[in-house]
A and B are shown apart, each in its own frame.
Chain A
């Protein structure tokens, strides 16, 4: 079945440590996104990529980094500069265009601080 796979499901970060969240899709979508979900705050966009080797900052990019070396993969690194990283992280993909295509979501990674 086509879909988006996020791993790991749960992740713990020590202070000063960088951690990387994996996102892989086999939907052949060009566009991919990372969102952060906090209770009562909805989803906020961290980074997005419309095509391989290109990505753009979203609303809350500080303390995060991404790469897009392959169409299928869009890993997110939470750096030590992100002082409040505890959240549920969601990866999504879509057919690019003018925003009229629905986004398909993975099942998320829950990041906590040790």
Chain B
């Protein structure tokens, strides 16, 4: 079975400061990991993914994420937050040893609030 934990329901950051949104995962094999962002009453937008290779993954809108296998974490980061980054962020995982193309397992989401 696969699972994702986002330990913080909400993260508050001042504009211009660095931000981190935490994610830990559990899979029986090796993970594919994804971050998505959701704005109110909209669908999810893909930000970045980790498949294999470099542990630091760069994505859209200046976001990046660091894969740490020993800590089973995939935290989302950005060096300088913008007010427009305020949204709901989801981490998702897929255990690629399972084969097939079934759905991702999502965390419960973290509300990111950037204060001007």
Q: Are A103 and B46 in contact (CB under 8 A)?
A: yes
Q: Contact check: which of B43, B45, B106 meets A108 at CB < 8 Å?
A: B43
Which of chain A's residues has its CB closest to B52's CB? A100
A48-B46 contact, Cβ under 8 Å, with A40-B108, A99-B96, A100-B32: no
The residue in A41, A42, A56, A97 that gathers the most chain B C-beta atoms within 10 A of its C-beta is: A42
List, in ascending order, chain B residues with CB within 8 A of A42's CB: 90, 106-109
Q: Are A108 and B41 in contact (CB under 8 A)?
A: yes
Q: Are B44 and A90 in contact (CB under 8 A)?
A: yes
The yes or no answer to B34 lying at the interface (CB within 8 A) is yes
Q: Are A105 and B101 in contact (CB under 8 A)?
A: no
Instruction: Give 1 or 0 for each of A25-64: 1 = CB within 8 Å of chain B CB.
Output: 0000001010100001111110010100000101000000
Instruction: Give 1 or 0 for each of A1-45: 1 = CB within 8 Å of chain B CB.
Output: 000101000000000000000000000000101010000111111
B interface, CB within 8 angstroms of A: 9, 32, 34, 36, 41-46, 49, 51, 90, 94-96, 98-104, 106-109
3 shortest A-B CB distances, which residue pairs? A105-B43, A99-B94, A45-B103
13 additional contacts, CB 8 Å, given A40-B109, A100-B49, A102-B49?
Answer: A6-B43, A33-B103, A40-B9, A42-B106, A50-B101, A96-B101, A99-B94, A100-B51, A102-B46, A103-B104, A105-B43, A107-B42, A107-B43
Q: Can you give 20 A-B contacts (C-beta < 8 A)?
A: A33-B103, A35-B103, A35-B106, A41-B108, A42-B106, A42-B109, A43-B104, A48-B101, A48-B102, A50-B101, A90-B43, A96-B101, A98-B99, A98-B100, A98-B101, A99-B94, A99-B100, A100-B51, A102-B46, A105-B43
